[in-house]
């Protein structure tokens, strides 16, 4: 059976790393099997807390904005159109260095879980 969600029906919340998240598709809510897709927003001059996930592999796709991504103490500049793979156990955070909201599509497999988010 196909699953669908409607953006305007989804409520945003703050994750353990401090980003604003809207779960576009998540097993706990939508009944899909093993991955999650979310939109994350980091406001100008803000950054997420340094953290890692023990189980989940994450893929970030930058929808809008500019930032600095920290991956195990390596800092890389990111901008609209960039894709970053974050392997399990990698300490990471992202900082918005622009003047507009930094918007990110976040895909997690297995699906995102607060319990799998370890703040450094």
Across 33-37, average pLDDT: 94
Domains of the chain in start order, with CATH, are 12-119 (2.60.120.10)
**DSSP single-letter state for residue 26:** -
What is the token pair recorded at 2? Answer: 């196909």
Query: 50-95: per-residue pLDDT in tens?
Result: 999 999 999 999 999 999 999 999 999 999 999 999 999 999 999 9
| DSSP-derived secondary structure for 32-95 | -SS-EEEEEEE-TT-BPPPEEESS-EEEEEEEE-EEEEEETTEEEEEETT-EEEE-TT--EEEE
Q: What is the pLDDT of residue 2?
A: 65
Percent of the chain with pLDDT over 90: 88
Query: 105-120: per-residue pLDDT in tens?
Result: 999 999 999 899 999 8
In the predicted structure, residue 31 carries a pLDDT above the cut 90: no
What is the separation, in whole angstroms, between the first and last Cα of the chain?
39
Q: What is the pLDDT of residue 16?
A: 87
In the predicted structure, residue 1 carries a pLDDT above the cut 90: no
Q: Rounded mean pLDDT of the chain?
A: 95
């Amino acid at each position: 059976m196909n699953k669908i969600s409607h953006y305007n029906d989804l409520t945003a919340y703050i994750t353990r790393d401090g980003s604003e998240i809207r779960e576009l598709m998540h097993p706990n809510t939508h009944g899909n099997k093993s991955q999650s897709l979310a939109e994350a927003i980091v406001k100008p001059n803000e950054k997420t807390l340094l953290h890692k996930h023990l189980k989940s592999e994450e893929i970030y796709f930058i929808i809008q904005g500019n930032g600095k991504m920290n991956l195990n103490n390596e800092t890389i500049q990111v901008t609209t159109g960039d894709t970053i793979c974050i392997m399990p156990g990698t300490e990471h955070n992202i900082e918005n260095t622009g003047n507009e909201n930094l918007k990110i599509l976040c895909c997690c497999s297995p699906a995102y879980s607060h319990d799998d988010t370890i703040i450094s």
